[in-house]
Structure 1
């Protein structure tokens, strides 16, 4: 009994000693760890502040370029460097920031880029159409389904439950067909309409996204590898050897054998492996596209028939065929485009930009329904243009829309396609804080 008690007392003494030693170590270690954490956090704060400052400068002035240094009364210092990760890519900038304090250094690396407008499945400056006498509100309605990023600088008008499977943004809240657009109350503004925003929304943007201006269009034209100075008929095709071609003729020339000039696209590729065709006048286009091409018109692009990729990316995801259509005026679907190959429907594979006014259908409000407009790509336009009218749940005139986003546009763009005027964040990387010699 006595020995057992002795062992117990001895054990308690040992445990007590261990606890006392642990408490002593804790009182020594905890302040040290707290000090290290404080020093690390201060270094991070300096590096982060410099990055935030540089990003704000880029948002205000995309031409901004500088090196920033700072120091504080507490002894913290920092420096930010700005560089181009690729000297040939003027649309990306790399920000590298260092912050030091108390013998510790933090490093942050941020990549910014000016996104191509081709990344949007749908973009408008205004959601109203502007015919000669008045502005007409155009509605998203029940049967509309859109994938990919969607944006307007105007106000979306919703009827029923259209479906958006990509991120939707605007500086303005949307209005419902059954709502009150003058109300500031969301419930009253939306009414009983209920669009499906499956990819998230931001209706609180503080700044419009500006469409490309003269400078960007001049840059696009300067990079053209094929140029024409008259209204032209343009048809893409693949020859018997499997090479991509485009044939071009003066719009007023009527001899289909002698008027066309044929161009093998691979012979006119720029250093990035794409072809830019610029027409000082109207462009009437159709055909099968094999290769990466951007077609620019100074006045108007008329779509005269199906425009299809030689390799459909919906069937083969390795397809490299890509087309951009950039018009300084309208992009118009010809009234008889769906009849060009004897079909009731129309297929367009392209990222389409109409800077003058709209992408629309000729005589959209007349005649009988024409079938389905199958669009693979995206639409960027100043004012939203109509492709038909609806009555209840049915199309009354023009086309039923089947718009599918070409997901490749998230990673690749048509040659020299115009870019946004502001930078966006590609990534932000906080590197591990390191101890440096003091």
Structure 2
């Protein structure tokens, strides 16, 4: 098995994370349970920050909160000196509620509503990443109503397609995001942005995909950004002060995945920006990036309790757990693969091949196909690794199943950062009109 961060098997043969025995965590907080290794989160954040400091280039590392957004993770990001990338009013509200400095918040999204933009303007956030011409006009108008001039980046689609799942590739020309370089939309956006009285154009943003295991795509994106910046300088006399190359840095889910160290990605990006801009005698811009999954992904583990089993001789043995696609929809959406261990009997040898089924009323609610485990019994605890990113963030109440609790573990201490939902929470927003209430039974 491959253990991440502070995870280890303790003397009792049980999985331990952050100095906390997960069997004791299950007893205290119940299952399913999201467990976050806080020390590993901080380590990942520091790897990016330290790597950029070593380049000598001005930078911002913004945690992409869409991967996992709670007040606790916003607080950790603030303590580690990161900026924050949000993509909705809800994520922005969470960050502000956590006390995150508004000036270090960047607001993304291809369809920001007027209310969301107003919330961000009133909070005085640091930068908007403008995605389209409608937003360009709307933001300028709303900022003007408030007598403000706001910083923006223009999101461009550079035509660089990373080798990722088709659903999460966003850098190619056929994308719902951004202004295309091909066809001149990006150039036109720069001209219009420069003419807006309430917008301050800092530079451009691009994002070429997710779960990327090589640096060539980032080098090419940096070259495309430089080429565009040079064109804008030469034809419009406008200099970009910021080049944001997004995120998408990969993590290890299974042995098939071969991620690079954070420093390798950062060095390649810094070298490419320096080389391309220096060659054109262009003032070196500040570099921004937005890691999300690579900060929180392998720091998360989901703990389940085993319930029923179904053995079909010669075909398959199903082992059902008390969660599933409501707390981790990624296998159903993307065919994502995970590794797992029986957390309460982690030292025992594997003796059978089983498939882990969720409890939702969907035949597609499968978490792991064909994993080797010790003989599984009802009541066993199954720990699924690398569930920090896009699990809690994409969780749902399908089948009216409450969302799990989230705990941060560090130095033997477990801190509850999200309470488990209750059935009362599930019906909390329901209303029952008088005309639908049951009438008294007739005598």
TM range (shorter): under 0.3
Q: TM-score, normalised by structure 1?
A: 0.25
When normalised by structure 2's length, the TM-score is 0.25
| Higher RCO by CA contacts (8 Å cutoff, separation 6 or greater) | 2
- Structure number with larger C-alpha Rg: 1
| Structure with the higher strand share, 1 or 2 | 1
Structure with greater proportional helix content: 2
